[in-house]
Amino acid sequence: MYHTGTYLSADSPLHRLDPRIKLAGVVGLSIIILMLGALPLLFVCLALLALICQSGIKMRTIGQALQPLLFFIVLIFLVHTFLAKGENLPGTSGLALSFSWGGLQEGVFVSLRFVCLVVAAVLLTLTTPPSQMIAALKFFLQPLKKLRLPVDNMIFMIMLALRLLPVLLGEKERIETARKARGYNIRQLGYSARIKTFLTFVTRILWNVFQRADELSAAMIARNYQAGPRTSFVTLKPIDAKFIILLALIFCLVFFVALISFFG
Amino acid sequence: MGAELGMITLDDVYYRYEPDGIDALCGITLKIKAGEHLALIGPNGCGKTTLIQHLDALLLPSRGAVTIDGLDTRDAAQEVAVRSLVGMVFQNPESQIVGMTVEEDVAFGPENLCLPSAEIRQRVEEALAKVGIAALAKRNIEHLSGGEKRMVAIAGVLAMQPRYIAFDEPTAFLDPAASARILEIIDRLNAENIGIIHITHNMAEAAQASRIVVLNRGRLCLDGTPPEIFSRVEQLRKIGMQLPQITEMMFQLQSQGFPVRTDIVRLEDAIAQIQSWAQSR
């Protein structure tokens, strides 16, 4: 079972790019997206589109990754459209909620901003194998070791969480299918019954996942896992001029946008 | 019986899951030589999985001792060494794959041993090549079929370069082609002098081993070569086990008056028997 948004192996410049640059790039881009106004945001959209095209990822895949968030996107749009102040559009002045041209613009802008953030993150996860992502994260978190933080264990926890997410989704699908196969239909139930079945559903999933976690931990122990430092087969390229220039570029860009948005 | 090198020994091993529960293993005494191919059979709940979990120090005997090449599994200081010697392929590959991509998962064991990157990479490549899935190295685990996932699980164990590998029903839920590939890999590993402990419910698979151990209710009830074991028909039937189809057929032929031998577990031997009978007429 494939779950949307997780790594898809392919070969493209974006796939080959140093994971540290990609990680820093996404963080930088997210900051930029949050600072930009409506018009410059369109440029970010275009840039993201260009990146999607050159990475060879299908638009459908991006759409699938956005699908579960559709509810939030619509919610963000509606909240901003109706809560922004402005002159009501003709013909809507009698309504209880304000509905203005400015509000509509605000709604589109904020939801677009959200979509851009998600697409940037999805591009990272689609083109970077988790092991490389973990290696990049380790690289940036390494200084925290000086503060005696258990960086190795923290990173391993993130890795396991990434691994268990699809397990959780798979478990949910399995139980749903098992229920459907026995003629279960939520639409036929009343609200209190729905809530009750939902609770048993959640309990069942948690039960199964705990069991899976138990098995997984036995398998990890059998393969000699012990909390603490581990090595990795991923070797990041040594830091070269290109790496420093790209990292500096990202930093400058963020700094530049910050300057403009605060003083411009 | 002292600790011996070059073999796994179980010395009067008892195990209970609950302090006041029943004995899941009662007084198992067994020696498994390096390079042996041992099939472990018995009805569900007879203690097969409990037994192999003792080989990897995942479970420690309540009484008695388990030693792997002379290392006592109860000695916490030897845990890493014991688990490096004995690899374990669990029943469900879904719940033993830790990595998100094939090579990441295979690298998990060597990474835990804190080996240098270059060596891990080499071990991963070798392990993937050995089970014939080098082409899948970069693939996301979620995209693989059940058979491929099982191959990944085996490669993950091979990358730790164990001397013994315990397989818990390695062909369960697989189609015939995938099963055949797994069995072929097991044979190949055994030929490389890796000791195999192989739990199975498939009697034809068990018949391919060099030795069969039958467990029932936590006790060791039979131990011998496949022809020896499958000649104890009454005893096997009493505990709900069946004969391999080939042996069953020879018994039926004999009971109908054909002068054939019944200590036959392989198709080739059965054909030879029938041919020699046909020629003698």
B216 and B46 Cβ atoms separated by less than 8 Å: yes
A20-34, A176-190, B23-37, B92-106: lowest mean pLDDT where?
Answer: A176-190
Using a CB–CB cutoff of 8 Å, tell me whether A224 touches chain B.
yes
B81 and B71 Cβ atoms separated by less than 8 Å: yes
| Pick from A162, A230, A232: CB nearest B100 | A162
**Using a CB-CB distance cutoff of 8 angstroms, which residues of chain B are in contact with residue A226?**
80, 112
State the pLDDT confidence band at A2, using cuts at 50, 70 and 90. low
| Pick from A9, A129, A232: CB nearest B111 | A232
Work out the minimum CA distance from A202 to partner chain B, whole angstroms.
20
Using a CB–CB cutoff of 8 Å, tell me whether B104 touches chain A.
yes
Euclidean distance between CA atoms A3 and B196, whole angstroms: 36
Euclidean distance between CA atoms B239 and A28, whole angstroms: 67
Q: Write out pLDDT tens, residues A38-80.
A: 888 999 999 999 999 988 888 988 998 898 899 999 999 988 8
Work out the minimum CA distance from B87 to partner chain A, whole angstroms.
7
Using a CB–CB cutoff of 8 Å, tell me whether B112 touches chain A.
yes
Q: Which pLDDT value is given to residue B155?
A: 97
List the one residue out of A226, A142, A156 whose CA is nearest residue B112.
A226
Q: Can you tell me the mean pLDDT for B4-10?
A: 87
Asked if A223 lies within 8 A of B107 by C-beta distance, the reply is no
| pLDDT for residue B1 is more than 50 | no
Domain residue extents for chain A: 1-129+238-264, 151-227
Q: Which of the residue ranges A149-163, A176-190, B60-74 has the most confident prediction, judged by mean pLDDT?
A: B60-74
Q: Which pLDDT value is given to residue A3?
A: 59
A85-94, A208-217, A237-246, B172-181: lowest mean pLDDT where?
Answer: A85-94
| pLDDT for residue A186 is more than 90 | no
Size of interface A-B (CB pairs under 8 A): 112
A63-77, A82-96, B5-19, B150-164: lowest mean pLDDT where?
Answer: A82-96
Asked if A226 lies within 8 A of B80 by C-beta distance, the reply is yes
Q: Write out pLDDT tens, residues A88-99.
A: 766 666 666 667
Q: Which pLDDT value is given to residue A159?
A: 83
In the block, residue with structure tokens 């002045």: A93
Q: Write out pLDDT tens, residues B61-80.
A: 999 999 999 999 999 999 99
Q: Which pLDDT value is given to residue A168?
A: 83
Q: Give how far the C-alpha of residue B13 lies from the chain's centroid of Cα atoms, to the nearest Å.
A: 19
Asked if A231 lies within 8 A of B109 by C-beta distance, the reply is no
Asked if A130 lies within 8 A of B56 by C-beta distance, the reply is no
State the pLDDT confidence band at A1, using cuts at 50, 70 and 90. very low
Q: What is the overall mean pLDDT for chain A? A: 86
Q: Give me the domains of chain B, ranges plus CATH numbers.
A: 7-101+160-231 (3.40.50.300), 244-281 (no CATH)
A101 and A86 Cβ atoms separated by less than 8 Å: yes
Return the higher-pLDDT residue of B258 and B14.
B14
> Residue B37: is it exposed, middle or buried by C-beta count within 10 angstroms (0-12/13-18/19+)?
buried
| pLDDT for residue A232 is more than 90 | no
Q: Can you tell me the mean pLDDT for B256-277?
A: 88
Euclidean distance between CA atoms B219 and B29, whole angstroms: 9
SS3 B27: strand
Q: Which pLDDT value is given to residue A93?
A: 63
| Pick from A222, A233, A235: CB nearest B83 | A222
Q: Which pLDDT value is given to residue A65?
A: 87
**Using a CB-CB distance cutoff of 8 angstroms, which residues of chain B are in contact with residue A8?**
140
Asked if A230 lies within 8 A of B111 by C-beta distance, the reply is yes
**Using a CB-CB distance cutoff of 8 angstroms, which residues of chain B are in contact with residue A216?**
95-96, 98
Residues 6+ apart with CB under 8 A from B114: A229, A230, A231
Beta-bridge partners for B38: B197, B211
Q: Can you tell me the mean pLDDT for A15-33?
A: 94
Q: Structure tokens of B89?
A: 């392929």
Q: Structure tokens of A20?
A: 């540290």
Task: Provide the ipTM.
Answer: 0.86
Euclidean distance between CA atoms A33 and A45, whole angstroms: 10
Q: How many CA atoms lie within 13 A of B100 on its CB side?
A: 26
Q: Structure tokens of B138?
A: 């970069």
Residues 6+ apart with CB under 8 A from A248: none
Using a CB–CB cutoff of 8 Å, tell me whether B81 touches chain A.
no
Using a CB–CB cutoff of 8 Å, tell me whether A232 touches chain B.
yes
Helix (H) or strand (E) holding A254: helix A241-263
A42-46, B43-47, B59-63, B261-265: lowest mean pLDDT where?
Answer: B261-265
Q: Write out pLDDT tens, residues B109-131.
A: 999 999 999 999 999 999 999 99
The model carries a pTM of 0.82
Angle between helices B176-191 and B146-158 (to 10 degrees): 10
